[in-house]
Structure 1
Amino acid sequence: MALMKVKFDQKKRVKLAQGLWLMNWLSVLTGIIIFSLGIFLKIELKKRSEVMNNSESHFVPNSLIGVGVLACVFNALGGKICYDALDPAKYSKWKPWLKPYLIIFVLFNIILFMVSLFCFLMRGSLESTLAHGLKNGMKYYRDTDTPGRCFMKKTIDMLQIEFRCCGNNGFRDWFEVQWISNRYLDFASKEVKDRIKSNVDGRYLVDGVPFSCCNPNSPRPCIQTQLTNNSAHYSYDYQTEELNLWVRGCREALLHYYSNIMNTMGVIVFLVWLFEVTVTAGLRYLHTALDSVANPEDPECESEGWLLEKSVSETWKSVLENLKKLGKGSQVEAEGAEGDQAPAAS
């Protein structure tokens, strides 16, 4: 028994075809929007690629670009089919291709839904990427004379100023890396020698941070050095001076920024998916309504349209049987190929 059967006359079929033609071209516009969102996210990620450890974060923008292009192609083709459906002569050319087209369109809808899920689920991967990337970026902060790393200082400073953050998880992360270049250290100084000797790795570590960690909202001049030494500064207590430096780490700030972008994109892609599902259902009704016309020479006669020719359970069983037949067919072909090779080997 057909699922969700609807009766159509000539007027309803024409209205359905016209409505689907308009919806398909609106879907082309949504495809362009998805493509543009993918480009935007890719550019935003590229801006800070130096503080991201791998290319996994580009999976989402690449997926958005891909489904955006596919949406434009499939829906432009669907619009053409709906336009030609009003002319029996033109529709006869599309008729053999409509069923494969609908199957591919259903697969595209599944991919589109998966992409919308990826937009929401990439937070964990992005957090790990930022954590490792920022850690490496801070390590290379001092290498202003090293090719390939000479712009890392500027990148980190601009990042901390723009996102009002400091370090990876907080300002104390700067205490664990030597962020001052050796060229600016006086190795004849006893203090410098003692600090280097006191460290196993021979690094010059200080309880200080770069200037870009300073919070301009602080009522006093920014304190960057000897942050944990209260006696080094007048009327200072590092545990209560919250306005002196940015408290939030850059990993948290960037993660919040990119998560908001991807969550918004996920909602947009999900809404587009709902629209595409509606278009797919409409195309299926149009396809079955035109194919079930009893007398093609009489365009005024009634016909029936449906989503599935059988019930959901029967359709699922039929799909599984077809997959089993395909598996058995490929197995027979493989055994036949082995049989053909055996005599040649003997």
Structure 2
Amino acid sequence: METQADKTHTCGTICLKYLLFLFNILFWLAGGAVLAVGVWTLVEKSDYISLLNSGFYSASTYILIAAGVIVIVTGIIGCCATLKEMRSLLIVYLILLLCIFLLEIIAGVLAYINYQELDEELRQNLKVTMQQKYQQPGEESVTQAVDKLQQEFKCCGSNNFSDWTDSVWIQAADNERLVPDSCCKTPTDLCGRRDHPSNIYNVEGGCIMKLEDFILSQLYILGAVGIGIAFLQLVGMMFTCCLYQNLKEDPY
């Protein structure tokens, strides 16, 4: 005959199972969000990679996608371990949670350090890249990235439109333009022949400021998502330890 203590213990175990299962659903959704942000960044913003000498931006995007996949897989393992009450699988799940938590801390520190270097690199190289590689043979990816950057962020030149004065392409004898057509507020063929502010974008700080703001906003988003997932992980690790202890004491 089941004692009152056994009933209470069983009820506590069931509650822990449901709490941990709910946590895993949230964790799985968070992993999906991280994966979605990584894929969106890779698909929509990958053109800007060609404007940077560093591979940090592209590497961070792939790391983000990998992290999303790992979180989703970990969530699935957690659901299986919880529903089947497998103590060995709970240990694997707990270790995975701890590893992801530590990796998030390391990734956060590296992202902050690398952003400082990326920002400095951007300021040093964007102007030269635009002037030396735009519309040059074999540099189609740079040309496409510059045009997209200027149209999407409504800017012209690295610091301002006058940067294009020293462009190899602008200085070519057969070029009638003062700035690329992508600088124009209403892009049309040869609209870059006029560099008056009424015709082209003349933003204070130029495209460098716009691109810096974009990268910084991406880091803020990743930081917020990372903090949210880290909080979920701490809760999940606590629930996992409690459930493991209860299952260990359950008679079979």
> CA offset at residue 257 of structure 1?
1.4
> CA offset at residue 40 of structure 1?
1.3
> CA offset at residue 182 of structure 1?
3.0
Q: Residues 211 and 174 (structure 1 numbering): CA distance in 2 closer, same or farther, change over 3 Å?
A: same
Counterpart among 107, 118, 126 of residue 126 in structure 1: 118
**CA–CA distance in structure 2, aligned partners of residues 105 and 185 of structure 1:** 59
Matched, 1:263 2:220: yes
> CA offset at residue 150 of structure 1?
4.7
Check conservation: 2:155, 2:201, Cα contact below 8 A: no
Matched, 1:76 2:33: no
- Partner residue, 1:61: 61
Q: Residues 27 and 285 (structure 1 numbering): CA distance in 2 closer, same or farther, change over 3 Å?
A: same
- Partner residue, 1:173: 163
- Partner residue, 1:303: none
- Partner residue, 1:253: 210
Matched, 1:289 2:251: no
Deviation track 1:87-113 (CA, whole Å, cap 9, x = no partner) reads xxxxxxx33454354233212221134
Matched positions, count: 239
Q: Residues 24 and 155 (structure 1 numbering): CA distance in 2 closer, same or farther, change over 3 Å?
A: closer
**Paired residue type of 1:159:** L
Check conservation: 1:142, 1:180, Cα contact below 8 A: no
Deviation track 1:226-266 (CA, whole Å, cap 9, x = no partner) reads x8xxxxxxxxxx9xx9x983333211111101211221122
Q: Which has the higher helix share?
A: 2
> CA offset at residue 79 of structure 1?
0.9
Deviation track 1:299-343 (CA, whole Å, cap 9, x = no partner) reads xxxxxxxxxxxxxxxxxxxxxxxxxxxxxxxxxxxxxxxxxxxxx
CA RMSD of aligned residues (A): 3.3
- Partner residue, 1:18: 18
Larger radius of gyration: 1
Counterpart among 91, 102, 106 of residue 114 in structure 1: 106
SS of corresponding position for 2:14? helix
Counterpart among 95, 99, 107 of residue 91 in structure 2: 99
**CA–CA distance in structure 1, aligned partners of residues 226 and 236 of structure 2:** 15
> CA offset at residue 222 of structure 1?
9.0
Identity of aligned residues (%): 21
> CA offset at residue 151 of structure 1?
6.3
Check conservation: 1:116, 1:266, Cα contact below 8 A: yes
Mapping for residues 178-327 of structure 1, pairs under 5 Å: 178-180=168-170, 182-184=172-174, 209-213=179-183, 224=194, 245-293=202-250, 296=251
Q: Given the two structures, how large is their TM-score scaled by the length of structure 2?
A: 0.78
Q: Residues 181 and 154 (structure 1 numbering): CA distance in 2 closer, same or farther, change over 3 Å?
A: farther
Runs of 4+, deviation exceeding 6 Å: none
Deviation track 1:177-202 (CA, whole Å, cap 9, x = no partner) reads 3332535069xxxxxxxxxxxxxxxx
- Partner residue, 2:147: 157
Matched, 1:140 2:133: yes
- Partner residue, 1:331: none
Check conservation: 1:34, 1:67, Cα contact below 8 A: yes
Q: Given the two structures, how large is their TM-score scaled by the length of structure 1?
A: 0.59
**Paired residue type of 2:115:** R
